[in-house]
Chain A
């Protein structure tokens, strides 16, 4: 059965800290890995990764994929209280399925 596992389930850090969120997967016919941020509403898209070893970056957020070891990390540097959210990892397969992990709940203390 296809699965996406995120760790940790929750994380509390202080503003300014750097955090690393993990996502491992077992999905047949892998096509892409996606990261979303969910605050008190709908998930919003952050990154789509399809190739190993190529870092995607957007401001203080960055992500990289390892297709050999079947995992991805999402890094957030110099965290701010506005980064508090649930971060969802999802994997897309070549038969058009999208499988989501349960998310990491991140809380940034001022």
Chain B
């Protein structure tokens, strides 16, 4: 299995632009998680899905952030409009049966200028 796939791996954009991050979970996994990691705040859970349904989005910072999972093999995290404070590494992770047994993707390093 290829593992969790994320794209792009790096993104540099200007403040105010829309950013879309993509994730393909491991086939057969029924949980999908989006995390943000910064030096100051560490690894923060933004939202997670179970069987394509958003279960907990309490970690989503504000209305500028949205996430979708239209099918079992694809999810997006969108930031519109982006701000410099959104600069971080965004990880997607997936797991089967239990959230604890999650595998992380390589991350997308986002820089908003």
Q: Which residues of B contact A41 (CB under 8 A)?
A: 106-107
Give the secondary structure class of A's interface: strand
- The answer for the CA separation of A45 and B93 in the assembled complex, in Å, is 12
Does B56 contact A97, Cβ atoms closer than 8 Å?
Answer: yes
Does B104 contact A42, Cβ atoms closer than 8 Å?
Answer: yes
A67 CB–B CB distance under 8 Å: no
Binds B, one of A21-29, A53-61, A70-78, A100-108: A100-108
Does A96 contact B55, Cβ atoms closer than 8 Å?
Answer: yes
Does A102 contact B42, Cβ atoms closer than 8 Å?
Answer: yes
Q: Which residues of A contact B101 (CB under 8 A)?
A: 45, 48
Minimum C-beta distance from B26 to chain A (A): 13
- The answer for the CA separation of A7 and B13 in the assembled complex, in Å, is 35
Q: B78-113 toward A: CB 8 Å interface, digit per residue (1/0)?
A: 000000000000010000001111111111000000
- The answer for the CA separation of A1 and B104 in the assembled complex, in Å, is 25
A62 CB–B CB distance under 8 Å: no
Known: A42-B106, A42-B107, A92-B100. A98 touches B45 (CB 8 A): yes
- Find residues 37-55 in chain B having any chain A CB closer than 8 Å to their own CB: 41-45, 48, 50, 55
Which listed residue (B41, B50, B104) contacts A43, Cβ 8 A?
Answer: B104
Does B104 contact A44, Cβ atoms closer than 8 Å?
Answer: yes
A32 CB–B CB distance under 8 Å: yes
Minimum C-beta distance from B9 to chain A (A): 10
A88 CB–B CB distance under 8 Å: yes
Known: A41-B107, A42-B106, A88-B43. A98 touches B100 (CB 8 A): yes
Chain A residues in the interface with B (C-beta under 8 A): 31-32, 34, 41-45, 48, 88, 92, 96-103
Other contacts beyond A45-B102, A97-B45: 18, CB < 8 A = A34-B100, A41-B107, A42-B104, A42-B107, A44-B104, A45-B103, A48-B100, A92-B99, A96-B48, A96-B99, A98-B33, A98-B99, A99-B45, A100-B44, A101-B42, A102-B41, A102-B42, A103-B43
